Structure 1
Amino acid sequence: MKAVLCKTWGLPDTLVIEELPDLLPGPGQVTIDVKAAGVNFPDVLIIQNKYQFKPELPFTPGSELSGVVRAVGAGVSNTKPGDRVIAFVGHGAFAQQVVVPAQAIMPMPAEMDFDTAAAITLTYGTSHHAVLDRAQLKAGETMLVLGAAGGVGLAAIEIGKAIGARVIAAASTDEKLAICKAHGADVCINYSNEDLREAIKLATDGKGPDVIYDPVGGIYTEPAFRSIGWRGRYLVVGFANGEIPKLPLNLTLLKGASLIGVFWGEFAKREPLKNLAAMRELLEWLRQGKIKPHISGRYALADTAQALNDLAARKVTGKVIIQPEL
């Protein structure tokens, strides 16, 4: 089987593809033939040794996938060869085969295609945990989403609308904002050519948003936080901009506001039953048409570096997928 390998820390172009022996499951493990793997911003960081999770070299990046069970190890009773499954792993998804713990898999709904299944775990899991668990967004409240056309951003928009909130999308181009609008955003702000604070003030009648969802960081964090409403909740989701911002903490006092960290991977590990309940709700919303992952590109395994480069350059809207069989 073929796999992408990170043999030395570096940018995506340092990755290599090699032929490796087929993978065999150990006790309590499952081998999956990977049909699709989702590409996420942490994949760009992990190969540079810049992420919270640091695997030993060499390793295969990629954390979410869908596929067909190839073989099961001793003691596995929750699945069998031929089953279509979704899995979230620390690494290993950018390959034709992967071995995962049996408890890391979830059955794919019969009507779901592999690409959609590979696009829902991390982005929608992160946004569900952020918006509903951490921020406790309620129907009728207003949420501002920064970097709104990215994978987690579009997921946050859809989740906000699914529960009856008003959603303001902020992104860097009109083309990206058109996608946000198509996914339910009520108001759109182009922060490349609009004053962000003035636009937020106008969109909220001067009250400010109840929740701000920030997966970007960088220069927009402080003006966004200065615009937050009374008792607002600011979600620190990530730093796609590459810059970890600094905030004057007196701003939290003046607004009675909260800074809330979001680390979905750790939540999923520490609170697996809550995470499973969230995923079940997301799959039901998907069935009802309340959410629908936006997949803007599909890449062969040989083009994994290009997929990561496109994501890092913010050329991607929604999600892109690696299809290892191409």
Structure 2
Amino acid sequence: MDVSLFDFDLPQELIAQTPLLNRSSSRLLVLDRKTEEIEHGTFADLLGYLKAGDVLVLNDTRVRPARLIGVKEETGAQIELLLLKPLGEDRWEALVKPAKRVKEGTVISFGEGRLKAIAQEEADMAGGRVFQLHYTASDLEELLVDLGQMPLPPYIREELAEKERYQTVYSRETGSAAAPTAGLHFTPELLQAAKEKGVEVTFLTLHVGLGTFRPVNVETLEAHQMHAEFYSLGEESANRIHRAKEEGRRVIAVGTTAVRTLETIARDHGEIRATSGWTDIFIYPGVKFQVVDALLTNFHLPKSTLIMLVSAFAGRELTLHAYQEAVEEQYRFFSFGDAMFIL
């Protein structure tokens, strides 16, 4: 299948640069797959589409503030590092800019020497390299909170005033390089209102990697290889989801990361069960869904694996029709943008 089939025109001014003051005041486009009807509202209207017995599945991953600005000890040149994946014993896979200035053995210093990164072998990604970290603090995660910045996507050019606005209100498991953005719209009050309506709210974890969000750079979908991401589903959540499927109740995935986790588990085990592992599942039109009955998601980049997943769920033509209407109605796109509920 040709990647160009998932392209669309998006005016630059519709790319949201900052989060709204109130998380749940974003707009909501509701797409009915059966009737192909589209409705417009605000995110708080989501409650009206939820029913008692629904299971709302959220990704509780937390974004690591892993964007570091430092200097080469040898020359004083500024270097940017984005820590992506721990390899054990303080070795990390990372993106480095400018990559050409960093060779094996280069030492980069951050926070006046509180953290140092020694370049090792190249990693299997453009601009990627493995680094050995040395630091004076007792805990690296606490040090990153102090020294690091949020790894915002490159299409966001504005500075983020509050780091927590790139975290969901229910985030708790640190490990992502990017936020599961569909969840950014929820407030504690909205989640509580859903529970009071009889909706079961439950969690899984998928640590989001940067590869998920990048445009596909091959001509056909079949030639694309996804980066692997770590996921985990606990016993309580697995039981809730498994029981809902047995009883014919809806499982609603909040975000494409929740979809990928649930469908990976069903594919690998034939059912939903408590488990953890790595997934490189690539969902595009033709792939059959075994678990997810409805999807809450943001509006995604052209030719990205995310719009391909949405197209697999709602159909390519219907998805692109909804996107075109979103453009005409001046919806805000991407990470800090508006949401779409597909049922």
TM-score tier (shorter)? under 0.3
Q: Going by fraction, where is helix more abundant, 1 or 2?
A: 1
Q: TM-score, normalised by structure 2?
A: 0.26
Relative to the length of structure 1, the TM-score reads 0.27
Greater strand share, structure number: 2
